[in-house]
Amino acid sequence: MNIDLTGKTALVTGSTQGIGLAIAQGLASTGARVVVNGRSRDRVDEAVAKIGGDAVGVAADVASADGAETLFGELPHVDVLVNNLGIFGAVPAREITDEQWRTYFEVNVLAAARLIRHYLPGMVERHWGRVLQIASDSAIVTPEEMIHYGVSKTALLALSRGFAKDAAGTGVTVNSVIAGPTHTAGVEEFVYQLVDQSLPWEKAQREFMRLHRPQSLIQRLIEPEEIANMVTYLASPLASATTGGALRVDGGYVDAILP
């Protein structure tokens, strides 16, 4: 496939590391002008340097209204919006506090809604745009060790479907990508919350998959670049007939035909 996003500006939130950085690199490889986002100026600058080319960075906490306004001031319009920002962590179900529920909703759901609300009108006016939410297998298979996270990712699927309907017939597509268990620094920390911390990483990963993600058909963690490949395709003109969907890059983890 020849994916060419030359002349398009793509914003990836939470893109200083992990899946977000891989997505930014993937979009940059297609010729897009990529905007890296994170809370720390130093980490944003480091990510921009890794990507190279026309990449630029905006340091702003888009999980807050003030941070989003900072972003909008520096970047009023985009052609591709990738809502990758998200937090996760294991908490026993009956110990999740009201404050934790609020925080997960504000970071994982409201931040995405806020950015869509700002950038979608310009895309509709230009008759072209791509909005993508990075969801999770936890949106469908709610994990007992982090229900609050799973609920927030389920909400992202509904958010995408609803805004896809809002953008119907405009040339703008809105989709979610359901990412399965993925190898990132944050996930390494999470794995060691659930398995013996004395185990070397390769053994710890296998033990985690065996005990906590046995449904995986690839029986390994997904690499961030594999998520980025799907996002890059969905952001391209080649995916013009795909909207309102929840596309899976889950290693076969979700035991269902749809989505």
User: Where are the alpha helices (H) located in the chain, listed in sequence order?
Assistant: 18-28, 41-51, 65-74, 98-105, 111-126, 147-166, 185-194, 201-212, 224-234
> What is the distance between the alpha carbons of residues 72 and 189, in angstroms, rounded to a whole number?
33
Given a contact cutoff of 8 angstroms between Cβ atoms, the answer to whether 163 and 116 are in contact is: yes
Given a contact cutoff of 8 angstroms between Cβ atoms, the answer to whether 10 and 80 are in contact is: yes
Sign of CA dihedral 14, 39, 51, 238: positive
Sign of CA dihedral 178, 181, 182, 188: positive
Q: Which residues pair with 173 in a beta bridge?
A: 130
* 3-state DSSP assignment of residue 132: strand
| Torsion angle (degrees, nearest 10) of CA 73, 6, 51, 247 | 90
Catalytic-labelled residue, pool 119, 149, 192, 233: 149
**Amino acid code (one letter) for 53:** G
Q: Identify whether 149 is a catalytic site residue.
A: yes
> What is the distance between the alpha carbons of residues 69 and 224, in angstroms, rounded to a whole number?
29
**Which position has the token pair 């002349």?**
7
Preceding omega of 259 cis (within 30 degrees of 0): yes
Active site residues: 149
